[in-house]
Structure 1
C-alpha cells in the first residue's frame, strides 16, 4: 500500500523558500500511485474584522482580496516544483488559529500527512519549533513531518526511535507503524534506516532500599530483555543487527547522541495524544528529544488516536 498519497503542505508566509514543499515533492514523485499535494495557508488579520467603518460585505470582500493575493503568491513560488507526476492545488483560508485550521483541513481533505517547515536559527544552526508546531505534534491525527531545510543529503540516515520491551499494545502497534513508515521513507528518499531503543538506568536508590539487590545482575537482565525484544522487532520487519541500536539511558539523551553520531537527516518518533491538560507525549519524551536534535522530525500517533479537534467529537 502506498502511504502519503494525499499530502498537506503548510506554506511559510515569511519566505519564498519552501523546504516543506520541496520534501513533499520528493515523496510525491516516489509514490507508487499518483499523489496529490495541497499547498495550504491560514491567514488572519484582526484589523479586517474590527473595521467598524466598513460593512460586513465590504470586510468580506477585503478578506477575499487578501486570500486571492496569497493564492497568487503561493502558485508563483510553487511553480518551480510542479510537474505532471503529481496533482497539485493551492488553498488559503481565513482563520485566527493556524494549527486548528490545519487540523480542520486534514479532516476535510482526508490528508495522509502534514508537512511543515521549521525555523532555523542562522547563528546556532539549531531548529526553533513554533507554537503551531507543538500544537500539531500534540493534536494532529495524521503523521506530522517537520522539515529543517529543503536539501536532502545523499546517502542519508533515518532513525526510528522504537519502544521495545513493553507489552503495552499501544507501544507494540506504534513500533510496527514506525518501522513501516521508516521502510517507506528510506525507499522514497534513498536513505538507510536504523532502529534505536533506549532502556532505563538502574535506579540508584534501589540498592539502599534493598541491600540484597544486585544492580549489575538487574542491569544485565534489563539489557537482555531489550536486546531480545529488538531482535524480534527487527526480524519481523527484515532488519539486520547492524541497523539496530540498543543503548542504556534516557531516550532524550540517547536519541540525540545517535542522531549526531550517524548524522541523521530524520528522526521518527512515536507520540500519544490525550485531551485537556494531559495533552502531552509519553512522559514528555518526544518533546525533550525534539528540543535536542537538529534534523527533520516525523511524529506518529498510535492507531485509534482521536484528535481533540475532530469535528465529529465537538
Structure 2
C-alpha cells in the first residue's frame, strides 16, 4: 500500500434526526459497524430557539427546560440503543445542544475521532436530485472525517462501489487523495462483499479550443481534435494505471470517460447500479472557509446512490472554527 496506514473502521458515528421517521443512516451505520466489529456511536444534536435565551428570562429556568428537552432526546435514543445492543453491537449514545447544528456535529466528531460519520440525506426520484438540507451541505463542506451520506435504498448483498478519481489533479486535489479514495472503496467492498469500480471523467475543453481553427483546411480541425482527445485519453490512462498499481482493482472495472464529471459520474453510477460513490473534496479558500467546488456540488446533487466524501489528512487545520 505504498507505506500508507491501512484503513480501519473501529468506531462509526451515526448522526440521527430526532424528527424523522425513517433513519437510513442508523440502519447503514449499524450494518457497517457489525461488518467491521466496530463501536456504534449514536449522536443527536438539537436546538430549540425558544430555549436559547431571552433578554429578561431567568437563566436557571431556561437551563432546566433545556435539560428536560435534551433528556427527552436521550430517552428516545435508549430503546434504539437497547435493540442494537441486543443484536450484539457495542453502542454508545450522546445528545448535544448546539446551533448551528453542523458546527455542533463537527465539533463532536473532531473531539471523538470516529473513523466514519454517517448521516441521512434524501434523493427525489422524479426530480432526479438529492434534497440536501443546509446542515447537509455544511457538513459536506466542513466535516474533516469521511462522511457517508445515506439514502433510503438498501445496499445489495454484493454492492458495486465507485471510486471517483482525479489522476491529473485538475480539481486541485492532492495526489494522495486518490489513494485514500481507493483505500476507502476497497475497505468497504471487502467488508460488504462488494466490488470496486474506478472512474475518471475528463473534458479536454481547453485543448479542443486550440484546434478550433486550422486556417484554410476546413476538415483538418476535426482530425486534429480527435488526435488531441486520443492523446489526452492515453496520458490519463497511464496516470490511472499508476494510481491503481497499488490497489487490487480489476482492469475491466476501470472507466475512463470523456465528458463533464457532473454528467459522467451520475451516469456511470446509474449504469452500474452502484450502491456507493466515494469521492474527494478539498478546501480552496484563502480565508479558511471550507467549501466545495461547483463541479463537486453538481455531482453530489445528481448522484442517486449513497456518497462517501473523503477529505485530505490536513483538512482539520483549515476549519474556520
TM-score, normalised by the number of residues in structure 1: 0.89
For the pair 1:279 / 2:290, whether they are aligned, the reply is yes
1:2-44 per-position Cα deviation (integer Å, ceiling 9, x unaligned): 522122111122223221111111111122xx42221111111
Question: Does the aligned pair in 2 maintain the 1:37–1:87 contact within 8 Å?
Answer: yes
* Structure 1 residues 74 and 140: alpha-carbon distance in aligned structure 2, compared to 1, 3 A threshold: same
Aligned-partner SS, 2:61:
helix
Q: Cα distance, 1:308 vs. partner?
A: 4.7
- Residue 49 in structure 1 maps to residue 52 in structure 2: yes
Number of aligned positions between the proteins: 308
2: CA distance, partners of 1:256 / 1:182: 17
**Residues 248 and 122 (structure 1), Cα distance of their counterparts in 2 relative to 1, 3 Å cut:** closer
- The residue correspondences of 1:233-252 to structure 2 (distance < 5 A) are 233-252=243-262
Alpha-carbon shift at residue 234 of structure 1 (Å): 2.4
Change beyond 3 A, Cα 1:125–1:248: closer
The equivalent residue for 2:15 is 10
**Superposition pairs for residues 162-241 of structure 1, below 5 Å?**
162-166=165-169, 170-203=173-206, 204-208=208-212, 211=215, 214-241=224-251
Q: CA deviation at 1:279?
A: 3.4
Task: Provide structure 1 residue ranges, at least 5 long, that are not aligned to the other structure.
Answer: none
CA change 1:181–1:46 in 2 (3 A) is same
Cα displacement string for residues 205-261 of structure 1 (whole angstroms, at most 9, x for unaligned residues):
322466587222211110001111222222321222111110111111110110110
Aligned to 1:306: 316
Q: Structure 1, residues 60-94: CA drift from partner, whole Å, max 9, x if none? A: 11111110111111222344333464421111111
Aligned-pair Cα RMSD in Å: 2.5
* Equivalent residue, structure 2, for 1:64: 67
Aligned partners of 1:61, 1:216: CA distance in 2, in Å? 71
**Alpha-carbon distance in structure 1 between the residues aligned to 2:106 and 2:42:** 14
